Structure 1
Amino acid sequence: TGGDEIKAFAYNNDETIKSGDKEVIRPYLQKFLDYAHQLVREAGLTPMVWEEMVLDWGLELGKDVIVQTWQESSNVNAVVSKGYKTLVGNYYYFYLDCG
């Protein structure tokens, strides 16, 4: 369900949120992920997010969610210590920045 490289300042232009403050944005992001993950589960699939959802945004995820770590090797331990399964995909070798 995504979650990498979210630019909080972009939410200043959102008619509902009108803020770039992570504390204001976080509940909306949590609600979206809760809803999206339920749909994924109902389809018989496993939800997956990028590490930022746990490490930068501090969201609460189901323990079935797989968290893809990609930035730093130490982030693997940080995610696992919170009780989540992780898929390690370090960007040092596979980062495609096409923007």
Structure 2
Amino acid sequence: MGRKYIFTNKKESKKGIMSAVLGIIALVSLFLAVYETFRNQGQALVKYGVAALFALLFALAGIVLGIMSKMEEDRFYLFSYLGIILNLLAIAGIGFIIYAGVYGI
């Protein structure tokens, strides 16, 4: 039983890593804004809305970086996919918050 080794010079894309980091930041800040609003008996302060706005901006930038990193050749794409998924989740969360606010869920 011989072992087979494959040596490669592929690396993770820095844009993909940054996309994943932005996705984590966006999700955490969105979660904290919702949690603090819940603790405040549903009264959303302006600073929580600003946090959600920045989460949206981070998520949009993260999606762009994730797509750009996916287009690079000879790279590993784990963080690219992870960043795209996390940022899409953040945007979906913001969309749900807006939907719930408009229709009173």
Q: TM-score, normalised by structure 1?
A: 0.35
- The structure whose residues are more often helix, as a share, is 2
Query: Which structure carries more relative contact order (alpha carbon 8 Å, separation 6+)?
Result: 2
Asked which structure has the greater CA Rg, the reply is: 2
Q: Hey, which of these two has a bigger chunk of strand by percent? A: 1
What's the TM-score, normalizing by structure 2?
0.34
